[in-house]
Structure 1
Amino acid sequence: MKISLMGLAGMKIRAGDGLQELGHPEMLSTPVFYFAQPGDQIRLMDSQYKFNVATYAPKIEDRWIYTYDYAPEENWTVYRYDLNGNTYRQDQYTFSECVYFRICLRKMDGTDFEGHEDINHILSFQRKKPYLHQIQPWVQAEVNRVSKCVTDAQESDELSFLLLTDSHYTVNGTWNDTAGAIQKLHQKLNFDGIIHLGDFTDGMTTREVSRYYVENILSDLRKCDVPIWATLGNHDSNYFKNNPDPFSLKEQCELYLGRDEPRYAVDFADQRLRFIFLDSFDPNEVLRYGYNASCIQWVNEQLVSTPADWQVVIFSHVAPIGRLQYWAKIMRGEEELMKVLHEHSDKILAFINGHNHGDLIDNAEGFPILSILNSKCEAFTEYKSPGFITPHRKLGDSSQEAFDVMVVNTEKRQIRFVRFGAGNDKIIIDGKAEWLK
């Protein structure tokens, strides 16, 4: 089967470190890392060109997991230093082992690319057999444990949701295990929806590559065939580490939310329940983290219009108050937002956010505030506010993963959170959140 490739004119892959570099009109290369299995082939279809291949071993270095460090080009592989000016070829290239790869193209006459060339008309990547991600035994065991825990306690008329945040997609990362676990859980539990609290990727690649990764994530989640709701994270603006190719707010809304606006509400009339999803980051503001005036006004309107016998859960990437996050002690609109939330605290069942890469329960504001641990396999203890819990994470066992099954019972004013992977279960009951042992 032929796999379509993404090519970018003017870009080369550097022989010294395997990273991309713009400013080379004589070259066309693939900015995306592709996965190959033994027997897969690259075949040249146009003799006016030649190509070479850079390969990357599927190995993960501990520093990407246990320190605050983002891998260049969102890539958890190890370059094999097999690219140089003498490796260009016109004969077919056959892979003998499982590796990631990139391709560089040149014209035989040495002239520049014009920018309109389609790499898929020049060469083809032929996959010998479809790639099927294998569900690991520890994933299946955790699926069985979590699904039993949920079904043993679940009552009629309760709603269940898959809740995750900060997936920070990386090449050769753990997303395939995460997606496989979510799909297996859904088969057993039949979720009413999936909620992602933002930071789908690191936001360090071009818009085209970030879009490619995000669409892969959403495609995996859509296999559950239930609604997907998301909030915009700070990395989702594609600005991180001075990335010169950010998304506009309109592009973010279209890509991540499938909507025109960055904030929205979802009602479950039978349960008298309203979900409110907020935007909480603007890279163009001096105070980047926080809530602008139109957002706060909209939240107030939503809470005012919520019937007295309904309950509200608010979702955001960032916490509503500066003391609950490390990166911004002063937040835009904090005072105004908290005033609105305090005025309607009797309706608010919970405020739930991601961003902090740690678990936290806070009951000091008249309604529970919960920060949810990152689903990406990453466990650094620095840059955390007091009270945050950073569970140990390890590749290849259940602690690699971290997301929740969230079960809502409006009759009891209760939410149960059953953790898949690292971290503990928790419950909200009688207006207070607490950990479960």
Structure 2
Amino acid sequence: MATREERPLFSFGIIADVQYGDLDDAMNFTQTKWRHYRNALYLLREAVQHWKEENRIQFVLQLGDIIDGFNTRRKNSENALRDVLQEFDGVPFAVHHIWGNHEFYNFSRNYLMNSPLFTAQENATDVEEVVKKEADAAYYDFSPYKGYRFVVLDNYDVSMCGIGRDKDSPQYKEAEKILRQVNKNEELNSPEGLVGVDRRFVMFNGGMGEEQLQWLRETLEVARQQGEKVVVSGHVPVHPNSCYVMCLLWNYQDVLKILQDFSDIVLAYFSGHDHGGGYHYDSGNEIHHVTLPGVIEVPPGSNAFGTVDVFSDRLVMHGVGQLESRVMK
């Protein structure tokens, strides 16, 4: 009788919403949970040390919001970014950084494109030669192991968030049009008066433009032709059952449709943004939607990160602290 393989094909680390700042603890915007800004750096350090001691991961998916937006009020954004990135100095694995809303509270898109948080260029693959992208695109794909492709999305491609997009840019104007059609509040970060999934139409979320959606379709088609399995990741969740609805991507239906059209090769979608975390198995399409808890709201004494082992028939997530372990077939 054949036995199940014991060693994974490869492994990767995963973490979300560190939101570090040299700031005293404070309540979140809903006044429901404490945010531990300084402690977040220690938890990131603990995660990196854990992965180094495990000595088996090929890369880390850092799912965005690595520093907190309050840093910009104290003009401390660059120092905070330096502090968190120092934790990855000399690590024996790659780090893939995804951009969330807090990146854009601190930095312009142009700044990020020229910073260590822009990991698209250094990880470009042969598929990039087949599928063209916008000049300032932060979305990309990479292949860590033969037969597997990881797709990293830019969920704030269409956005009014922070200083990310210039107010004269087509993407900013499109974002403003989308928001104001649904959200009639003067404060566009308020969901007051919005019901159900419409509560996602707030300024701290974003959307993906048609060029990126087309790139995603074409990249998945190339992966299908090459017989590859695919894992997709972004800062913002795309399934309403995997998160609090106020944390959904504006045009989540467009992304879901594409993932479901390629359900024969797409295994999972990993995201952050909703600090409470979440999980949903789209059983009709056999796609796992995993939303990681936010490190920033983890109290001292716990943590929220994990290591994912990839086998030929399953993903096994080994969670630490508030990230639940699970087997995803």
In structure 2, what is the Cα distance between the partners aligned to 1:422 and 1:177? Answer: 12
Aligned pairs for 1:45-124 within 5 A: none
Separation in structure 1 between the aligned mates of residue 232 and residue 111 of structure 2, nearest angstrom:
23
Distance 1:213 1:300 in 2: 36
Deviations 1:217-241 (A, max 9, x none): 1221233132110211111101xxx
Match of 2:262 among 338, 344, 364: 344
What letter is aligned with 2:85? Answer: L
Counterpart CA distance in 2 for 1:405 and 1:348 is: 19
In the alignment, which residue of structure 1 is the partner of 2:291? Answer: 371
* Cα distance in structure 1, aligned partners of 2:5 and 2:72: 44
Q: Which has the higher helix share?
A: 2
Residues 185 and 267 of structure 1: CA distance in aligned 2, closer, same or farther (over 3 Å): closer
Superposed counterparts of 1:180-219, under 5 Å = 180-206=46-72, 209-219=76-86
Instruction: Indicate conservation of the 8 Å contact 1:354/1:374, yes or no.
Output: yes
C-alpha contact 1:202 1:235 (8 A) present in aligned 2: yes
Task: Name the larger-Rg structure.
Answer: 1
Is the CA contact (8 Å cut-off) linking 1:290 and 1:320 kept in structure 2?
Answer: no
Q: Separation in 1 of the partners of 2:50 and 2:241?
A: 37
Cα distance per residue 1:303-350 (max 9 Å; x no partner): 011035210000010011455443647743333222211110111010
Instruction: Report the counterpart of residue 362 of structure 1 in structure 2.
Output: 280
1:247 deviates by: 2.2
Q: 1:195 to 1:323 in 2, by over 3 A?
A: same
1:233 to 100, 108, 112: 100
The residue correspondences of 1:208-287 to structure 2 (distance < 5 A) are 209-238=76-105, 246-255=106-115, 256-258=117-119, 259=121, 261-270=137-146, 272-281=147-156, 282=159, 283=161, 284=172, 285-286=175-176, 287=179
Identity of aligned residues (%): 22
Equivalent of 2:318 in 390, 410, 418 = 418
2:220 matched residue in structure 1: 303
Alpha-carbon displacement from aligned partner over 1:50-73 (angstroms, at most 9, x marks no partner):
xxxxxxxxxxxxxxxxxxxxxxxx
Q: Distance in 2 between the 1:154 and 1:178 partners?
A: 31
Check if 1:167 corresponds to 2:43.
no
Alignment length, in residue pairs?
A: 249
Q: How far does the alpha carbon of each residue in 1:361-406 deviate from its partner, in whole angstroms, 9 at most, with x for none?
A: 2123621111111122x1xxxxxxxxxxxxxx542x2x2x110111
1:403 equivalent in alignment to 2:278: no
8 Å Cα contact 1:417-1:425 kept in structure 2: yes
Contact 2:140 2:153 in 1 (8 A): yes
In the alignment, the residues of structure 2 paired with residue 154 and residue 160 of structure 1 have an alpha-carbon distance, to the nearest angstrom, of 14
Shift in Å at residue 157 of structure 1? 5.1
Once residues 88 and 307 of structure 2 are traced to their aligned partners in structure 1, the CA distance between those partners, rounded to angstroms, is: 14
Structure 1 pair 322/181, CA: closer, same or farther in 2 (3 Å)? closer
Partner of 1:109: none
Query: Unaligned stretches of 5+ in structure 2?
Result: 23-37, 122-135, 162-171, 180-204
Distance 1:183 1:297, change over 3 A: same
Tell me the secondary structure at the aligned position of residue 263 of structure 2: coil
Q: What is the deviation of 1:277? A: 0.3
CA distance in 1, matches of 2:20, 2:87: 12
Aligned-partner Cα distance in 1 for 2:271–2:54: 26
- Compare the two structures and name the one with the higher strand fraction: 1
Q: Deviations over 1:1-26 (max 9, x none)?
A: xxxxxxxxxxxxxxxxxxxxxxxxxx
The alpha-carbon distance between structure 1 residues 297 and 349, as it changes in their structure 2 partners (threshold 3 A), is same
Contact residue 196 and residue 230 of structure 1 kept, 8 A: yes
Give SS of 1:250's match.
Answer: helix
Alignment check: 8 A CA contact 1:318 1:354 kept: yes
- 2:327 aligned to which of 424, 427, 436: 427
Q: Which runs of 4+ in 1 moved over 3 A?
A: 153-157, 321-332
Q: SS of the residue aligned with 1:174?
A: helix
Query: In the alignment, residue 207 of structure 2 is paired with which amino acid?
Result: G
Contact 2:47 2:305 in 1 (8 A): no
| Structure with higher RCO (Cα < 8 A, 6+ apart) | 2
3-state SS in 2 of match to 1:168: coil
What is the deviation of 1:358? Answer: 1.9
Residue identity opposite 1:422 in structure 2: Q
The CA distance in 2 between the partners of 1:157 and 1:407, in whole Å, is 6
For residues 245-283 of structure 1, the C-alpha deviation after alignment (integer angstroms, 9 at most, x for no partner) is x5222222333124463101011342x100000011222
Deviation at 1:155, TM superposition (A): 3.5
